[in-house]
Amino acid sequence: MEIVHTPVLLNECLEYLSPEGEPFERDAFMIDSTLGEGGHSFNFLSKYPGLSIMGVDADSTIQSRARERLSPFSSRMQFYNGWFNDFYADYPLERHPDIILFDLGISVFHYERSGRGFSFRHDEELDMRLNPSAGESAADIVNSYEEKKLADMIYLYSDEKYSRRIAAAIVEARRGGKILSTKALADIIYEAVPSKYRHGNIHPATRTFQALRIQVNSELKRLVSAIHNAFNVLNPGGKLGVITFHSLEDRIVKNYFRNLGKQCVCPPEVALCRCEGHPCAQIITRKPLEPTEEEVKQNSPSRSAKLRVVRKICDAGQMRLEGVEAL
């Protein structure tokens, strides 16, 4: 089987999320919350023979590829098909993890092989759903949102400075018929922006496609509850790592981890401190780990990746999520 996705910050993950000390070194349990083609899991299982992993992914197609890739480790590998926020909200296992990893990037497989319109490099159906059997597609959004809502969504999730012009052009174009393909949408965006903007470092449709993907898959909304519930599921002394790829994701993770490291994390309406006045976590990465120049050279999608890691001290309970909510 040809593997098309290269896991980012792999060496950093293997080092900073390694099983440490007894009993972790001989019998550790990890949850790969975003399994994809199984790149991170494959390398963790290869390096740490005492480790077993549960791989979570909402996309059954890519998970089947991971099952094939990870078949040599069958006795140490389990799989869950579903969204990670649902998995952690109703945690289904008796055993709790010592290591949790979230890699929030979209697999190269989805861009190059899924046929679901994640990229405008191929003329495909405008879908973008990681779980293609549920929820509204990108085409549903493009063809139904009123202009202001569409513009607000594009700006919020991509910081696209021409979001108003793009939204207006989309609404005008769909009067002549539904916009159903990636090429059709990319062409509309290209014509909507000023000519000088068409020849920058990235294609003018890049940010709009990012915003649509985030909206379609509720990526930021899922993230807030998922990392909070995942932290509470983690065994004391265990480590939680999150790889982000854009500023909105990183802001959520950074603020949440910062709150975990505070002396008291109880909400203001709680009369008595329940966390006994000590932090819930040790922040292992005071600054995020970023790819080396060599990694970026070898794997360009890694260029915007950031890894943050904390070690759990105690549960965060109903810790206030102020400052980490999805915008």
Report mean pLDDT in 10-residue bins for the chain, 327 residues.
Answer: 77 94 73 95 95 95 93 94 95 96 86 83 91 89 97 94 97 96 96 90 91 93 94 96 93 94 67 67 95 92 93 80 46
Q: Can you say whether the dihedral through the CA atoms of 42, 45, 48, 52 is positive or negative?
A: positive
Q: Is the pTM of this model over 0.75?
A: yes
- Answer with the one of 216, 248, 273 that is the final residue of a domain: 216
pLDDT at 291: 94
110 is in an annotated binding site: yes
- What local confidence, expressed as pLDDT, does residue 182 receive? 95
Q: Is 39 known as a binding-site position? A: yes
Torsion of CA 166, 169, 171, 174, to 10 degrees: -120
**117 labeled binding residue:** no
Asked if residue 38 belongs to a known ligand binding site, the reply is yes
In the numeric block, which tokens belong to residue 76?
């140490």
Flag whether 17 is in a domain. Answer: yes
- Looking at 216, 248, 266, the residue that finishes a domain is 216
Strand 51-57 and strand 77-81: the pairing is: parallel
257 marked as binding residue: no
Question: Per the structure, how many domains does the chain have?
Answer: 2
The pLDDT value given to residue 327: 43
Residue 108's pLDDT is what?
79
Asked if residue 122 belongs to a domain, the reply is no
- Is the same domain home to 85 and 158? no
The residue segments making up the domain with residue 286 are 10-109+220-312
Domain assignment present for 28: yes
pLDDT at 268: 60
Which residues are within 8 A (CB) of 324 and not within 5 positions of it... i.e. 6 or more apart? 224, 251, 252, 253, 255, 256, 259
